[in-house]
Structure 1
């Protein structure tokens, strides 16, 4: 039983395990809902992110100017904030979108690209977190460490392992009451009380620009249809990485893999996701430290 006098103790049900069946069920729910995901993302990956959302069953909206971003965040199903190519205008739009999303209780996802490695955008990421808690923070290990106050990696490249970022992930999860998803050879996802490891995925994922950025958008799509952000992050990670496993079969290289990945995102069934997802769950009752 949870001790209600302990402000860091998990709420009832917060220690519920996350399973492959949960991911399968949420894929079915997400596709049935077709959530509208507002993407304030980087200029390198806009088209790819939109295609990943469409293939998966969600709807993209790239409303990223400061005149409309806040207004749109109140009607969107979820919001993605990606710091890959921040400009003054887009950062202003991000602030508007996050403020409006927090007010409207719209789930939003922060992808702190290159956090820790570049001071200005690191500060932008922390400023955005102060405006309202996200549902999910998603990044590579060095970005998560950098956002939490440690030394970052080399631009968008991680110089740390997902295991090495767990302490920083726990700290961010506890401070902001959110899920932190650390991408790596094995993806680590935590809400500070529960840890999920997903070991699907293929090396070709690192040869296609914007896969991680698109994963943040997918997490937003799933967060729009479940109140459990850890399940949402796990389902999105599972969908992308299980689809990648299938897409790599027969791919001649990154180009054919990218096309096959979109096809697999569109055709992978909930049952196939549940059967193929390699997931480990671990309760972390003492993680909020």
Structure 2
């Protein structure tokens, strides 16, 4: 199945994606999922997160604006998703920055995420190595995080996606690099967080193939980013051109323009 076929399948299914994401990202992520053809739901309260995760096609968890109450909801949702056989994606935003984040991340990683999506500095630190990250910003190149990604994938039996100039995806056995995107993307807040949600949409459609779903999601994002950059005058116009490009992208064009290569 090609990346374009996976995009078409995702759109046909229009999966419900349970997004526990941060305050900054909620609106952007919802619009990205709608443009791509999925159905977003932002549900984080512990009183309902577990119940909702069981009925959604996939769960995504992002700790960008973490709190104790939200962490309880994240735990409930992850446990329920796993019990229901639903894939879940973990985005450990700046997990190395504080003791609270480090403890929360260790707790959530112990619940066996299907996919981990993060920047290079986050992946390096998550593997227990020294990174150069500051806050939510990556100071390390993707290629410097590839060995850490392989180690994490094997240790936790998960798919690891390292995103940056050239993305890297591995399940510990197979690895793929995805080129594309735009230098404007890091200048638009919450696009990375939105990508985590999009990975969830693709994983919901093919829960038995999380590696391939992740590659397809990243390729979709990269091609839409390249297309948007051709029309944008700066980060402001890029943000809405990106949504338009994502909505206009079809399976044939994605297969033609995607630059994903097995390593």
Partner of 2:107: 127
Structure 1 residue corresponding to 2:171, chosen from 186, 191, 196: 191
> How far 1:154 moved relative to its partner?
0.3
Please state whether the residue corresponding to 1:265 is helix, strand or coil: helix
> How far 1:150 moved relative to its partner?
2.2
Q: Deviations over 1:181-235 (max 9, x none)?
A: 0011110110101110011110010110001100000000000111211111111
- Structure 2 distance, partners of 1:117, 1:200, is 29
- Does the CA contact (< 8 Å) of 1:65 and 1:89 recur in 2? yes
Q: For structure 2, list consecutive stretches of 5 or more residues without a partner in the other structure.
A: none
Please state whether the residue corresponding to 1:224 is helix, strand or coil: helix
Structure 2 residue corresponding to 1:154, chosen from 107, 130, 134: 134
Question: Does residue 56 of structure 1 match 2:36?
Answer: yes
> How far 1:278 moved relative to its partner?
1.0
Structure 1 residue corresponding to 2:153, chosen from 163, 166, 173: 173
Please state whether the residue corresponding to 2:103 is helix, strand or coil: helix
Partner of 1:26: 6
Structure 1 residue corresponding to 2:229, chosen from 244, 248, 253: 248
Structure 1 residue corresponding to 2:70, chosen from 77, 87, 90: 90
- Structure 1 distance, partners of 2:204, 2:260, is 22
Matches within 5 A, 1:1-289: 22-131=2-111, 133-152=112-131, 153-226=133-206, 227-282=208-263
Q: For structure 1, list consecutive stretches of 5 or more residues without a partner in the other structure.
A: 1-20, 283-289
- Does the CA contact (< 8 Å) of 1:169 and 1:182 recur in 2? yes
Count of residue pairs brought into register by the alignment: 261
Please state whether the residue corresponding to 1:116 is helix, strand or coil: coil
Please identify runs of 4+ aligned residues in structure 1 that moved more than 4 A. none
* TM value normalised by structure 2: 0.97
Partner of 1:12: none
Partner of 1:14: none
- Structure 2 distance, partners of 1:222, 1:213, is 15
> How far 1:159 moved relative to its partner?
1.4
Indicate the larger mover: 149-158 or 51-60: 149-158
Larger Cα Rg: Structure 1 or Structure 2? 1
> How far 1:168 moved relative to its partner?
1.3
* TM value normalised by structure 1: 0.88
> How far 1:63 moved relative to its partner?
0.7
Indicate the larger mover: 147-156 or 162-171: 147-156
> How far 1:138 moved relative to its partner?
0.3
- Does the CA contact (< 8 Å) of 1:122 and 1:146 recur in 2? no
